[in-house]
Amino acid sequence: MELAAADRAALRALWKKLSSNTGVYTTEALERTFAAFPATRTYFPHLDLSPGSAPLKAHGKKVADALTLAMAHLDDLPGALAALRNLHTHTLRVDPTSFQRLGHCLLVTLARHFPGDFSPAMQASLHKFLSRVAEALGSDYD
C-alpha cells in the first residue's frame, strides 16, 4: 500500500487542521479503543484509563506527537518509529491487532470531527498511513 503524492498531500492538509489539538483526537481514539476493545486495556494496568483522566490525556498527547513525527517522515516510517517499535514489540509485546484497532478508532474519531473532509479518498489515505504506522511499530515479530 504505497502512499502516493495525493495521499501525502491530503494527509498533511488534514494534520495541519488538527494542529495543536491533535492530542484531543488521539485521546478520544484511545477512549474509543479501550471501550470497544476492552482487551487493549490489559497493556495499561498501571494507568487510570477512565474517560477524561489526566494519564489518559497525557498518553493521548504522546501518541499524537508520535503520529506527527510519522507525518514528517512519510518516506521513512520504519526509521522514524524504530525506537517506538522496539518498545511496543520487545518490551510491551503489544498484539499487532491492537494497532489496527487503535487505527480504526482514530478513523472514527476524525470522521466524527471532520465530516466535511472525510471523503472516501481521505479515508483511504488515512487507512494507508495508519496501516504503515502499524507495520512500522510492530506488525511482525522477529
Q: Which positions lie near ligand HEM, rule CB under 6 A? A: 40, 43-44, 62-63, 66-67, 84, 87-88, 92, 94, 98-99, 102, 133, 137
Q: Which is nearer to ligand HEM, 3 or 66 (CB)?
A: 66
- Of 108, 107, 96, 103, nearest to 142 by C-alpha is 96
Least separation in angstroms between CB 99 and ligand HEM = 5
Least separation in angstroms between CB 33 and ligand HEM = 7
- Of 83, 85, 62, 93, nearest to 133 by C-alpha is 85
Q: Which is nearer to ligand HEM, 6 or 39 (CB)?
A: 39
CB atoms within 10 A of CB 114: 14
Quick one: 44 exposed, middle or buried, by C-beta within 10 A (0-12, 13-18, 19+)? middle
Least separation in angstroms between CB 4 and ligand HEM = 21
